[in-house]
Amino acid sequence: MANPYAHGWSPANPIDLTNDAAPRPSQKRTRGAALVSAAADGSPKRSPKRKKTKSEAKPEEEKRLRVFRSHAPQTFYGVYERALSQRFYVLKRQRIGTDECPEELVEMTGSTGNVYEVHVARQPSCTCPHALKGNQCKHILWVLSQVLNAPFELVYQLALLSSELRAIFAAAPPIIVPEEVEHRNRKEIEGDCPICFSELDAESPDSIVWCRAACGQNFHSECFRIWARTKGGNVPCPLCRSQWQRDEKDLSQVLVDGAAATEEGYVNVAEQLGISRVRGLCRLVCVFRENSNVDDQ
């Protein structure tokens, strides 16, 4: 006869058929697992996610200060045509800003001799009356196009990005001519000035100018200024008669020596540069000559 207690059942040790016995708690815990707490309604509640630090966040994209122009508007071309057809002079260039966002100040003369300052920055500006009224003036367009050689698609923009400024200045002509190129044709400062025949002072180089275009001859700067005032706009070298090539210091000096002031408060150097103070006169003369059968004498 089989033993009725062979499977472990006995009156002292009954078998539980309801499966209500509480399970033994697990002794294992996964390292790094998220903590889960029981909410009041019994639903699981996860711990909050870790916020990203500033170093992990994506850098903000630079915003253009004015609306991007996909093409040049029709109103642009009239101003641009004047920028390319009229004559301007650069008096001084100065690079400012930072490596990340370079800028440049350009001191220049307008078509009637007024001196303006163009600031090439994220939003280019100019001190001329047209620009002060909120317009894109011909001086800004001339500096971007002719002085800095900026691509045309950037010339008609009202505002530039830092990356565009870096590209413009990386390809722009240098401001300072290398010393060895600037002085390669210059003669020794010795002997007499060819204008006043007084001795040149080698120990006072600021008092001397020289012919950069051709012969390299030295002159007293004061003597040359008197000479230049008698010649109007096209000033030749007193010795070799080549077209006189001014350096940046010479042009800046024009602002101090004999410059006139306009009613608007601008410095005007039209007389020193030999240009008309009448707005549009040069263009009218050019148009008349193009439509005239009379030879220019």
Q: What span, in angstroms and rounded, lies between the C-alpha atoms of 210 and 244?
A: 9
Which residues, other chains included, contact 150 with Cβ-Cβ below 8 Å and sequence gap of 6+? 144, 168, 172
pLDDT tens figures, 167-213: 999 999 988 654 545 567 889 999 999 988 889 998 888 889 999 88
Query: For all residues of the chain together, what is the average pLDDT?
Result: 79
Q: What span, in angstroms and rounded, lies between the C-alpha atoms of 140 and 104?
A: 12
Higher confidence at residue 125 or residue 260? 125
Domains and CATH numbers, the chain: 65-175+258-297 (no CATH), 177-249 (3.30.40.10)
Closest C-alpha to 221, from 233, 206, 232:
206
pLDDT at site 80: 98
pTM as predicted: 0.58
Amino acid at 198: S
Which residues, other chains included, contact 69 with Cβ-Cβ below 8 Å and sequence gap of 6+? 156, 157, 158
pLDDT above 90 (res 76): yes
